[in-house]
Chains A and B, each alone.
Chain A
Amino acid sequence: MSIAIKNVVKNFGSFSALNDVSVDVPSGELVALLGPSGCGKTTLLRIIAGLETPDTGNILFNGTDTTDRDVRERQVGFVFQHYALFRHMTVFENVAFGLRVRPRSTRPTDAEIHRRVHELLELVQLDWLADRYPPQLSGGQRQRIALARALAVEPKVLLLDEPFGALDAKVRKDLRRWLRRLHDELHITSVFVTHDQEEALEVADRIVVMNHGKVEQIGTPQEVYDKPASPFVYQFLGNVNLFHSRVNAGRASIADIELQIDSHHDTQDSAAFAYVRPHDIDIQKERGSQPAFEATVTYVHAIGPLVRLELQRADNTELIEAELTRERFRELDITEGARVFIQPRNVRVFLDQKSA
């Protein structure tokens, strides 16, 4: 089932949670709502579920306006951030809840409920926990039970609020891949909320980046990472180095060098910000033919697959972060205190809106 969010506005008192938000979720996709806390992503998810009503704007399921449809009739599965399992019911009863509360005419028989619940518990690989109570489960187990419970009502749309937020790093990684596989097997439309860009980039088909109640960019992980639409998206999706720059007819200044860039060809001498990711900082020991500026290595962190360097520019005190592969680092053979030359690659330039 496809979801369309059209011009949704939601205010809580004087706080504007969502400000004219429009998003299309095609049927069968796994979409991430990504943003810092307070950006309105959870509010948007709750509006899709019907747990909140928008002040203005519409929600369409498969093209049908569902804005005023009751949360019970929307056929959505919702996984809460803290799971919200019924603490006084066994795992079995938790999963069976959605079937047992149906009106008598559409309620499955006890045997059928029994079969369905065990099927779902097998799907989340926790059949052996059927008689436990929620407080007796670990975080990862609770998460999977919450998912099984949401799936019991055979929803057309699965909504997850920070599904991995409360789990430790190892469990989080496993569950992420498992959720992706599950989504593909079930042929369902899923939307999940996260503040973790790594999670969104790894799991989602499409990412909606939000900030201050507005959509900053919608696109595939590749698009939002490689072609961020705004400085916010660029900074939010990974570490960055920021340079104060000036742009003139397709050329941008960084430190004491000038670089050709593939945008802003018509811009006449204006203030701008230039962003370079740490892994796009190339380091040379000697000045080559490419434009490069001078810096000193102040710190080397060589744990893990990448070597992280901290460098200080020669012309001022600003610090630059760089990431090298281990091979490149060994090849360069540099230590703290070494003088090197920096060649930025893939520079993204955004004009300074304030001075423009």
Chain B
Amino acid sequence: MSGVTNISQYSRYNARVARSRATSEPAWIRWALIAVSLAFLTLFLFVPLAAVFTEAFRKGYEVYLNALIEPDALSAIKLTLIAAGIALPLNLVFGVSAAWAIAKFEFRGKSVLITLIDLPFAVSPVIAGLIYVLIFGLQGWFGEWMSAHDFKVIFAIPGIVLATIFVTFPFIARELIPLMQAQGKDEEEAGLVLGASGWQVFWKVTLPNIKWGLLYGIILTNARAMGEFGAVSVVSGHIRGLTNTMPLHVEILYNEYNYAAAFAVASLLALLALVTLALKSFIEWQTARQASDNEKLAEE
């Protein structure tokens, strides 16, 4: 064991020497590259992020809080949570089943299914919204039938939920497919030979193996579901207190020159982004740590 450590320390030392002499650019190039990336990040990320919070608190803490607890804002927050709360479990089921089917089974039309899953990435969200207007709108295919039965999709919550599901459905499947393909189906087959039922194999073997990838997919889906603007904007109708989600509410406030309130609501969305990033790094750190722990023990 000590021999292994010595060798790896030695090679690490070697690598450091090599980097400083043979394979490295001159110092001024390295610093210039770092400066360019930092300037870019500052301009496009840090400054806007700081601006959101300074603008939100410009008129004081009370204005900030009032902007968040006034009824229209609360209803926008509620609607956003409802839309995400419905879209998330549905896409969870769809994403896991699609990834499971694609990664573990051979069937006709598999490549078509993979392409279809990517569709929401390729289509503009506005078009996605328009599709639902064309189908369920008053002049749409089912419009007359639905208005006759007093059932509203467009300019109502169902439309918002539908649009949110559409734009978020690739995230979980996309996250899981490469992971499940890499893991293969050996473990599932081992489970079957040992007498486990299909459900037992799924709960005891497949799910634990994909849990970190799945969590990552859920976080991304949630972030997108809460932040989606384009598709939701088309189907929502912007009725205050009824069909406004948080991003739409921000836009309305901003258009009314109510900057402090607009940024206050926007700061919530920015916070959501920060929490998402923190969770994402935590998951990556967890998986990396597990891998290195295992390596150490296997070497013993």
Which of A's residues lie within 8 Å of B, judged by CB? Answer: 49-51, 71-72, 76-78, 80, 82, 84-89, 97-98, 101-102, 132-133, 135-138, 149-150, 152-153
Contact = CB atoms under 8 A, between A and B. Distances in A.
A1 to B, nearest CB: 16
Given A85-B187, A135-B298, 18 more contacts: A50-B193, A51-B192, A72-B193, A77-B193, A84-B187, A84-B189, A86-B187, A88-B208, A88-B209, A97-B194, A101-B197, A101-B200, A135-B291, A136-B294, A136-B297, A138-B298, A150-B194, A152-B194
Nearest to B187: A84
B12 interface: no
Interface in B171-222: 186-187, 189-197, 200, 204-205, 208-209
A153 B186 contact: no
A79 B139 CA distance: 62
B212 to A, nearest CB: 10
Contact of A84 (B190, B204, B297): B190
Interface of B (DSSP majority class): helix
A72 B186 contact: no
Nearest to A134: B294
B194 A153 contact: yes
A252 B196 CA distance: 60
Contacts of A149: 190, 194
- What bracket does the count of chain B residues touching chain A fall in? 20 to 34
Interface of B: 186-187, 189-197, 200, 204-205, 208-209, 291, 293-295, 297-298
A78 B193 contact: yes
A101 B194 contact: yes
B189 A80 contact: yes
B298 A72 contact: no
Contacts of A89: 208
Given A136-B297, A136-B298, A97 B196 contact: yes
A177 to B, nearest CB: 25
Given A82-B186, A86-B187, A135-B298, A101 B196 contact: yes
6 closest Cβ pairs, A-B complex = A84-B186, A136-B297, A98-B194, A135-B294, A101-B196, A84-B190
19 contacts: A49-B193, A71-B193, A72-B195, A76-B193, A77-B193, A80-B186, A80-B189, A84-B187, A84-B189, A88-B208, A97-B191, A101-B194, A101-B200, A135-B294, A136-B293, A136-B297, A149-B194, A150-B193, A152-B194
B4 to A, nearest CB: 13
B180 to A, nearest CB: 13
Contacts of A85: 187, 190
Contacts of A72: 192-193, 195-197
A97 B204 contact: yes
B93 to A, nearest CB: 22
A241 B289 CA distance: 55
Contacts of B195: 72, 98, 101-102, 153
Nearest to B295: A135
A222 B299 CA distance: 41
B210 to A, nearest CB: 10
Contact of A71 (B192, B204, B294, B298): B192
Most buried by B among A76, A87, A149, A153: A87
A86 B205 contact: yes
B297 A132 contact: yes
B101 to A, nearest CB: 19
Give the most central of A80, A85, A149, A153: most B CB within 10 Å.
A80
Given A87-B187, A88-B208, A101-B200, A51 B298 contact: no
Contacts of A76: 193
Contacts of B197: 72, 101
